Amino acid sequence: MAEFTMELNDEQKEVRDWLHGFAADVIRPAAAEWDEREETPWPVIQEAAKIGIYSLDFYAQQYFDPTGLGIPMAMEELFWGDAGIALSIVGTGLAAVGVLANGTEEQIGTWIPQMYGDANDVKVAAFCSSEPDAGSDVASMRTRAVYDEAKDEWVLNGTKTWATNGGIANVHVVVAVVDPELGSKGHASFIVPPNTPGLSQGQKFKKHGIRASHTAEVVLDNVRVPGSCLLGGKEKLDARLARAREKAMSGGERVKNAAMATFEASRPAVGAMAVGTARAAYEEALEYARTREQFGRPIIDNQGVAFQLADMRTSVDAARLLVWRASWMAVNGKQFTAAEGSMSKLFASETAKKVTAQAVQILGGNGYTREYPVERMHRDAAIYTIFEGTSEIQRLVIARTLAGVPIR
Ligand SMILES: Cc1cc2nc3c(=O)[nH]c(=O)nc-3n(C[C@H](O)[C@H](O)[C@H](O)COP(=O)(O)OP(=O)(O)OC[C@H]3O[C@@H](n4cnc5c(N)ncnc54)[C@H](O)[C@@H]3O)c2cc1C
């Protein structure tokens, strides 16, 4: 009768091993080169497309794994290979999920294939929400979408920043303000189709880590998109805005809770990316500590080193368990009564930063050079506590959920 198990089923193990093979044989060997080039690794994305890893089908299969572990397992393996390249591979999925979550069937069928292209002509997509003055504080977004009823078109104006694949994407998903009175509840998402006039790439950022992933500003200057590009459609938007206006006058808790649940369900995926990087660094450090000799014996013979490795592995496993718990909860419709999704992202991202720093220390001088991958992993790990909600914002969400009051 008791069905609890911590064991992966055969199908999951097969997918995990297949992904691990791609990460070890294709991603990892290319990692240093694309980190130095600071460019999108198109040939690696194409390899992933050829074997079906870079596709909506693959993403959807993992997404609908009833145990919830499909996505976290895939993220961990790909990011174990290399964070920058893996983000170039899964970045499109993040934009596609925006369409899957809010789009009509027709929008999903029209735009998602164009986000991926095909194995002979791969494309990427971008999700553009953040702005120079609206990072953690999403409600202060300024990009405006105004409806031109005569032409049934939306006109978008504003500047987005830090968009993964921004400007090089075939399809951009842009979040914009449709009703400034309603704060974040007055936002809507739009598809900007390929080659739409008025959308251009601004600055491309030179970054500390995940340098194989393209991050740039996206400028929207009188960008006109057909009415059909509003995700979910106008009727649904009007109904949602009417509800939000009503709620705004009487407290507004339910709308907020729905948005919160979406974030709780998506954050464990970022936690899983962090677990992948942390595990990779731990493994490098373990191997190095076994083989590097000082004072006539391997450095792992010293408790000072071995205990660090024990702590590193314990943290990586604990992070994975939190990620898996939250992913399982999301798929099984459990209520996140303690913000378990945010908890998993907070712990896993802080773990990745700490474990990669410990790995650099264990590798000593070598760890500080680009001859060894832990230097890159340490730089890469710093992103996890920043994007998809900083660690401080995760703590805020967890604390507010526990306390039930709006802690500042
Ligand atoms: C490489 C990279 C890729 C990205 N990809 C995308 C993307 O594809 N699409 C997209 O839309 N965005 C993307 N982002 C943006 C990312 O989500 C934001 O950088 C993030 O949300 C933080 O916003 P911010 O940088 O404006 O920091 P700020 O909000 O300015 O925060 C600065 C500091 O203040 C702290 N802080 C802010 N408010 C509070 C508070 N209330 N309490 C306590 N501390 C607080 C923060 O935790 C942080 O430490 C990306 C960013 C990077 C760096």
| pLDDT of res. 211 | 98
Among residues 194, 246, 153, 207, which one has the least CA distance to residue 386?
207
> Residue 277: CA atoms inside 13 Å, Cβ hemisphere, count?
37
- List residues near ligand 1 (CB under 6 A): 127-130, 135-136, 162-164, 207, 210, 215, 383, 386-388, 390, 392-393, 396
Please give the Cα distance from 127 to 129 (Å, whole number): 6
| pLDDT of res. 251 | 62
Whole-number Å distance, alpha carbon 137 to ligand 1 midpoint, is 8
Whole-number Å distance, alpha carbon 263 to ligand 1 midpoint, is 15
CA distances to 324, 327, 360, 401 from 336, rounded to whole Å, are 14, 11, 36, 9
Please give the Cα distance from 60 to 69 (Å, whole number): 13
State which of 205, 386, 400, 408 you would mutate to test the pocket of ligand 1, scoring each by most atoms of that ligand within 8 A of its C-beta: 386
388 labelled catalytic: yes
- Reading the chain (408 residues) residue by residue, the pLDDT tens digits are 567 888 899 999 999 999 999 999 999 999 999 999 999 999 999 999 999 999 988 988 998 888 999 999 999 999 999 999 999 999 999 899 889 888 999 999 999 999 999 999 999 999 999 999 999 999 999 999 999 999 999 999 999 999 999 999 999 999 999 999 999 899 999 999 999 999 999 999 999 999 999 999 999 999 999 999 999 999 999 999 999 999 887 765 544 555 677 788 889 999 999 999 999 999 999 999 999 999 999 999 999 999 999 999 999 999 999 999 999 999 999 999 999 999 999 999 999 999 999 999 999 999 999 999 999 999 999 999 999 999 999 999 999 999 998 888
| Secondary element (H or E) of residue 178 | none
Please give the Cα distance from 367 to 282 (Å, whole number): 12
Encoded amino acid at 269, one letter: A
Measured CA angle at 184 (ends 271, 133), to 5 deg: 80
Tokens of 205: 């950022």
Tokens of 16: 């995990």
